[in-house]
Amino acid sequence: MDLNLPRAGVDPVVRETRTIYRSLLGGGFADLRRMPSEVIFDEPKCTVHHYEPTADPDPDALPVLLIPPMAATPVCFDLRRGCSMVEFLLDTGRPTYLVDYGDISTLRDQDLGLEFWIDTVLPDAIASVLADSGASGVHLVGWCLGGILEMFTAAAHPDLPIVSVTSVASPFDFGQVKVLGPVRIMEDLTNGVLTTGLVRVLGGIPGRLNGLIYRWLDPVKQIKKPLLQLQSRDDPDTLAQIEAVDVLMDTMEAYPGRSISQIYHSLIRTNRFSEGRLVLKGGRVVELGEVTVPVMAIAGTGDLFFAPPASAHHVATLLTKSPSVRLETAPGGHLGVLSGRSARDTTWRYVEEFLADHDVA
């Protein structure tokens, strides 16, 4: 009996068998090694990492501080090799830092409000970057809520040596987020009691629940995911991206109770946030009209559930004292615009161009 099968018929079987093996037992497809870094500052909810250079430093490049939202781990900026904003910035010779909030507990940290991040965490992180680098100023780049926090930090503390602020997929007008329409109707009918009561009971939103919410805000995508994996069995890069995103979702942290209450009432229920005003503890009001540095806002063309372009670009109408505001769009959804496979040629290049344009400041 002749067992010499045609090679053209064997190769697909070998590839698919290898795909199944690597997915289930062989360590997956994504290179999840994090870019090496050292800790230069370590206080509660504020651990600052300085990434090791991968190229000769650019003597004219000021340091950049990457700011994640409080529910996401630093993985969002360093998703996987090849899809890492950190890796890209280092390869350009720019000193790169990141602030990590560490473990956030709905029990221990439920009383932490947004003012804690705006008045303590980010100012401390900025000071540590300046002390470590010896630079005269620092650029800020934030994703999602990180972009909102950095923007209000710049408004609340004009004395900080912030050179520029870049927000990626940060919503500034939740009225443009159509999926939240039914939520507002329900909250108006219950006078906000339902959500407020739930947050008080839970002490915030647990990390595992955050991951589920993020995944299932786009139910069609989740339902199609197994089919996409099957169709991509000959495309290791697609499988690697899916795997890396799953790792990020599985490591989501919690939103503290006070912070999520402030976010909910200002952004979702009343949308007063669209006026550029944030009410903090004690009735203190911070206004985006006080931002006096150059700003860039990048939106994802496929970000329909968190920060559609109209919502992200709304910030331009609020920055009345900023010397310049640059608005950009790039392919991808809420995470894809930051760490998707097309970000290298769009979002990351916009960021590096914008930082370089303002290094002289």
Structure pTM?
0.87
The position carrying tokens 């350009």 is 92
CA distances to 19, 111, 289 from 361, rounded to whole Å, are: 50, 38, 21
Q: What is the pLDDT of residue 202?
A: 57
Tell me: pLDDT of 262 over 80: yes
Give the model confidence (pLDDT) of 188-243 as tens digits.
Answer: 666 665 566 555 655 567 777 777 777 766 666 778 888 887 887 788 888 999 99
Least confident of 124-138, 262-276, 287-301: 262-276
Q: What is the pLDDT of residue 10?
A: 43
Q: What is the pLDDT of residue 12?
A: 55
The answer to whether residues 38 and 23 touch, using CB atoms and an 8 Å cutoff, is no
Q: Which amino acid is at 16?
A: E
pLDDT band at 24 (very low <50, low <70, confident <90, very high): very low
Least confident of 7-11, 198-202, 251-255, 283-287: 7-11
Residues 6+ apart with CB under 8 A from 3: none
By DSSP bridging, strand 78-80 and strand 83-84 are: antiparallel
What does pLDDT average to over the chain? 86
Residue-wise DSSP of 315-345: GGGT-TT-S-EEEEEESSSTTHHHHSTTGGG
Q: What is the pLDDT of residue 304?
A: 85
Helix axis angle, 207-216 relative to 219-231, nearest 10°? 80
% residues pLDDT > 90 (the chain): 59
- The predicted model gives 17-40 an average pLDDT of 73
- The predicted model gives 50-74 an average pLDDT of 94
Q: What is the pLDDT of residue 269?
A: 73
Tell me: pLDDT of 116 over 50: yes
Which domains, ranges and CATH numbers included, belong to the chain? 27-358 (3.40.50.1820)
Tokens found for residue 40: 């230069």
Q: What is the pLDDT of residue 201?
A: 55
CA dihedral 100, 143, 139, 319 (to 10 degrees): -130
CA distances to 23, 171, 188, 274 from 185, rounded to whole Å, are: 43, 20, 5, 18
Give the model confidence (pLDDT) of 36-49 as tens digits.
Answer: 999 999 999 999 99
Give the model confidence (pLDDT) of 10-20 as tens digits.
Answer: 455 445 544 55
CA distances to 105, 143, 193, 284 from 177, rounded to whole Å, are: 28, 17, 22, 27
Give the model confidence (pLDDT) of 137-185 as tens digits.
Answer: 999 999 999 999 999 999 999 999 999 999 999 999 988 876 666 566 6
